[in-house]
Structure 1
Amino acid sequence: MKVLFAHQNFPGQFPHLAPALQARGHDVLALTAEKNTRPSPVRVVKYRQPDEVTLSSNLTRMYAQVSERGMKAARAARQLRSEHGYVPDVIFGHPGWGETLYLREVWPEARLLIYGELMYRTSGLDTDFDPEFARDMFESRISTVARSAHLIQTMVQADAALCPTRFQAETFQPEFRHKITICHDGVDTDRLCPNPDAVFEIAQKGLRFRPGDEVLTFVNRSLEPYRGYHSFMRALPDVLAARPEAHVLIVGEEGQSYGGPPKDGISWKERYLNEVRDRLDLSRVHFLGRIPYDRYIAMLQVSRAHAYLTYPFVLSWSLMESMSAGCHVVASDTAPVREMIADGETGELVGFFDIQGWSDRLIAALAAPERFIPMRLAARAHMVAQYDLRRQCLPRLVEFVETAGRA
C-alpha cells in the first residue's frame, strides 16, 4: 500500500510505526510542516507554513489557525496528486493542528485514519480542573468549543481512529467510539529497564549519582501547571528539610506546552520557584532543562523516587517510561494516571492538590526505598506485559493501519 502520514512535527507519535510499515513493503511518505527539522525515518514532503491569523477575539483563534494549516497541507497534497500522480491508499494523521481537515477533498478514495489524542470538553477535564486558574466560564467554554470543533469535524470524516489509552478514548463523544481502536504507542522496555550500573552526572557541579543514591526526579516537556509543577514545588521544602541528603533532578523547559503563559510575564518555572525559594536548599535542586534521551534514561535508572502529576489530560510518555525503568512512582490521583497505576501495587497515588500528602509520600519513598521494591518490580512487569513496543504495541499498530476502516 501507499501510506501517507500527516503530522506537523513528524515523526511525532509515529517514529516506530512508519519504518515498521516500510519494512513490510509499504510505500511510506510523510507530509509535514516546512519548519520541521526533525530527522525522519521515511521520505517527507513539506507544506508551506500557514499565515498568521488575526481575529478580533483570541477565544476563537484556534479554529481559524488549524483551518489555515489544513488549507496549506491540502494545497501541497493537491500538488502531489496533480504533478506526481501520488494517490495514497491510507492517510494516517494527527488532527490536532488541522493537517487532515481537507485531505479527503484531495484523495476521496483513501482510507482516512486519525490519531485521536483527546477531545476537549467544556467541563470535567482540564478546562475547569484547577481552581487556581479559574477563568470566566463563558469565555472558557467558547475557547474550549473552538479548540474541539476541528477535532469533531475530523472524527466525522475519519474511517477509523486510534487512541493510546482508554481514558483518552472516553473523552470522545459516544457516537464516535465505534470508530476508535485503543492501542498505546508503546514503550521500549528493552532500553528503558533497570540498570544497577547506571551513572548520571552533572559535570558542571561535580555531581555523580548512581542507583541507591537519594535522588528524587521530576520530568515534563515544560514546567507548567498542567503537569503539576506548582504542586510539586510546593511540596519540596518539607521534603528537603526532612531528607538533608536528597537531591532533586528536574527535567523540563521554561515555556508552556498545553496551558497559557502566566500573566505576570515570567515563566511558570520562575513563578513557583520564587514562591518557595527562601525555604529550599537550592544547592540540591537541579534544573536540567531538556537533556539527551540517553541521559534521561540514566536519570530514571538512578532515581529513588519519581514524581508525576497531570491534569485530566493527555498522559505523558514519561510516566510509562519511568515505570518501565523500574522507578518507584508517586503520581497524581487523576483519571489518566489511574489507568496505569494501581495504588499500592504498581506505584502510589496522591491527590493532585494535596501538598502535605505529596511531601509525606515523597519523604517516605526517599527514607525507606526497600519498602517499595515490590512496587518497582510490579510496575516494570506491567509495562513489559501490556505496553512493550515491539512485542505488544507495534504489531497492533501495524494491523490497525493495514486493516482499520475497510468497508
Structure 2
Amino acid sequence: MKILFVHQNFPGQFPHLAPALQRRGHEVLALTTETNNRPSPVPVIRYRSPEPVEMSSRLTFMYAEVAERGLRAARAARQLRDEKGYVPDVIVGHSGWGETLFLKEIWPEARLLIYAEMMYRTTGLDTDFDPEFRRPDFDSRILTTARSAHLIQSMVQADAALAPTEFQAATFQPELRAKITVCHDGIDTTRVCPNPAARLAIPGTDLVFAPGDEVLSFVSRSLEPYRGYHILMRALPDVLSARPKAHVVIVGAEGQSYGGAPKDGVSWKQKFLEEQGDRIDPTRVHFLGRVPYETFLSLLQVSRCHAYLTYPFVLSWSLLEAMAAGCMIVASDTAPVREVIRDGENGWLVDFFDIPGWSRALTEALAAPEQFAPLRAAARQAIVEGYDLHSLCLPRLIDFVETAGR
C-alpha cells in the first residue's frame, strides 16, 4: 500500500511504525511542516508553515489556527496529487494540529486513520482538576468546548482511530470512542532497562551519580502544574531535611507545554523556586533543562526513586520508561496513572494534592531502597508484558494500519 503519515513534528508518535511498514514493502511517505528539522526514517514532503492567525475572538482562535495549518497541509497534498500523481491508500495522521482536516477533499478514496490523543472536556479531566489554577467561569468552559471542534471534526472524518491508553480513549464521546483501537506506541525494553554501569554527571559540578546513590528523579517536558511540578517543589524541603545526603535531579524545560503561563510573567520553574526560597538547597537540587535521550536514560538508571505526577491528562512516555528502567515509582493517584501503577505492587500512589504525603513517601523510598526491590522488578515486568515495543505494540500497530487501511 501507499501510506502517508501526517504530523507537524514527524516522526512524532510514529518513529518505529513508519519505518516498520516500509520494511514490510509498503511505500511510505511523510508530510510535515517546513520548520520540522527532526531526522526522518522515511522520505518527507514539507508544507509551508501557516502564518500567525490574528483573531479578535478567543472563542474562534483555536479553530482558525488549526484550520490554517490544515489548509497548508491540504495545498501541499493537492500539489503532490496534481504534479506527481500521488494517491495514498492510507493516511495516518495526528488530529491535534488540524493537518488532517481537509485531506479527504484531496484524496476522498484514501482510508483516514487518526491518532486520537485526547478530547477536551470542561469537567472531570484536566481543566477543572487543580483548584489552585482552574478557572471554573463560564467563558473558560465555553473556550474549552470550542477547542474540541477540530478534534470532533477529525474523528467524524476518520475511518478508524488509535489511542495509546484506555484513559485517553475514554475521553472521547461514546459514538466516537467506537472508532478507537487502544494500543500504546511502545517502549523499547531492551534499550530501556536497568544498567548497573550507568553514570550521570551533573554539569558544572564534580558530581557523578551511579546506581545505588541517593538520587530522586523528576522528568517533565516542561516544569509546570499539569505535571505536578508545584507539588514536588512544595514536598522537597521536608525530603531534603529528612535525607541530608539525597540529591534531586529535575529534567524539563522552563516554559510550559500545557495550560497557561504564570500571570506575573516569570516561569513556573522560577515561581515555585522563589516560593520555597532557601528551603531548597541549590547544591542538592539540580535542574538539567531538556537533555539528550541518553542522559535521560542514565538518570532513570541511577535513580533510587522516581516521582511522577500528572493531572487527568495524556500519560507521559517517561513514566513507562521509568518503570522499564526498574525505578521505584512514587506517582500521583490520578486516572491515567492507575492504568499502569498498582499501588503497593509495582509502585506507590499518592493523592496528587497531599504534599505531606508526598514528602513521607519520597523520604521512605529514598531511605530503604532494598525494601522496594520487588516493586522495581514488578514495574519493569509490567512494561515488558504490556507495553514492549518489539514483541507487542509494534506488531499490533502494524496490524491496525494494514487491517483498518483496507
TM-score (norm 2): 0.99
Matched to 1:72, the amino acid is: R
Per-residue CA deviations over 1:173-216 (Å, capped at 9, x if unaligned) read 00012211000000010011001111111142010101110000
Q: Secondary structure at the match of 2:390?
A: helix
Return 5+ residue gaps in structure 1 as ranges: none
Per-residue CA deviation, residues 113-144 of structure 1 (Å, 9 max, x unaligned), is 00010011011100101111122521111111
Task: Map 1:348-367; keep pairs closer than 5 Å.
Answer: 348-367=348-367
Structure-1 residue corresponding to 2:98:
98
The CA deviation string for residues 355-392 of structure 1, in whole angstroms up to 9 with x for no partner, is: 00000000000001111110000000110011000011
Corresponding residue of 1:290: 290
Q: Given residue 15 of structure 2, which amino acid in structure 1 is its aligned partner? A: P
Q: Which amino acid aligns with 2:155?
A: M
Within 5 Å, give how 1:8-407 maps onto structure 2. Answer: 8-404=8-404, 406=406
Cα distance between partner residues in 1 of 2:352 and 2:242: 21
Contact 2:3 2:28 in 1 (8 A): yes
Separation in structure 1 between the aligned mates of residue 239 and residue 58 of structure 2, nearest angstrom? 41
* 3-state SS, counterpart of residue 205 of structure 1: coil
Does structure 1 retain, via aligned residues, the 8 Å contact 2:128–2:136?
no
Deviation of residue 281 (structure 1)? 1.5
| TM-score (normalizing by structure 1) | 0.99
Do 2:6 and 2:100's aligned partners in 1 also have CA atoms closer than 8 Å? Answer: yes
Whether contact under 8 Å (2:90, 2:405) holds in the other structure is no
* SS of residue paired to 2:141: helix
Kindly state the Cα deviation for residue 54 of structure 1 after the two structures are TM-superposed: 1.1
Matched residues in 2 for 1:58 and 1:98: separation?
A: 17
Partners of 1:105 and 1:125 in 2: CA distance: 33
Decide whether the 8 Å contact of 2:118 with 2:314 is kept in 1. Answer: yes
Output one character per residue of 1:309-362: Cα deviation in whole Å (capped at 9) or x when no partner. 000000000000000000000000000000010000010000111000000000
Aligned amino acid, residue 324 of structure 2: S
Partner amino acid, structure 2, of 1:100: T
Alignment CA distance shift 1:107-1:52 (3 Å): same
Once residues 205 and 60 of structure 1 are traced to their aligned partners in structure 2, the CA distance between those partners, rounded to angstroms, is 49
Residue type of the alignment partner of 2:361: R
- For 2:324 and 2:87, the matched residues in 1 are separated by 40
Q: Which stretch shows the higher mean deviation, 183-192 or 57-66? A: 57-66
- 1:76 and 1:21, CA in 2 relative to 1: closer, same or farther beyond 3 A? same
Question: Quick check: 1:60–1:142 contact (8 Å CA) kept in 2?
Answer: no
What secondary structure is seen at the aligned counterpart in 1 of 2:37? coil
Code of the residue aligned with 1:223 in structure 2: it is L
> SS at 1:256's partner residue?
coil
| SS in structure 1 of the partner of residue 216 of structure 2 | strand
SS state of the match for residue 132, structure 2?
helix
Secondary structure of the residue aligned to 1:403 is: helix
For residues 176 and 233 of structure 1, what CA distance do their matches in structure 2 show? 39
Tell me, in whole angstroms, the C-alpha distance in 1 between the residues paired with 2:342 and 2:373: 15
Tell which deviates more after alignment, 121-130 or 54-63. 54-63
SS at match of 1:204: coil
Q: After TM superposition, give the deviation of residue 405 of structure 1 in Å.
A: 5.4
Structure 2: runs of 5+ lacking an equivalent: none
1:127–1:203: structure 2 CA closer, same or farther, 3 Å change rule? closer
The 8 Å contact of residues 67 and 98 in structure 1, kept in 2 or not, is answered as: yes
| Equivalent AA in structure 2 for residue 19 of structure 1 | P
CA–CA separation in structure 2 for the residues paired with 1:60 and 1:113 = 26
Instruction: Provide Cα deviations, 1:208-262, integer angstroms capped at 9, x if missing partner.
Output: 1011100000000000000000000000000000000000000000011011111
Note the alpha carbon deviations across 1:152-171, whole angstroms, 9 max, x for none: 00110000000000000000
Give secondary structure in 2 for the equivalent of 1:193: coil
Aligned residue pair count: 406
1:16-73: CA deviations, max 9, x gaps? 0000000001000000011100000001111111121111122431111001100110
One-letter amino acid of the structure 1 residue matched with residue 93 of structure 2: G
**CA offsets, 1:47-105, max 9 Å, x none?**
11112111112243111100110011000000000110000000000010000000000
Hey, what's the Cα distance between the residues in 2 that align with 1:56 and 1:176?
A: 32
Q: Which residue of 2 aligns with 1:5?
A: 5
Q: For structure 1, which segment, 343-352 or 140-149, has the greater mean C-alpha deviation from structure 2 after superposition?
A: 140-149
3-state DSSP of counterpart to 2:39:
coil
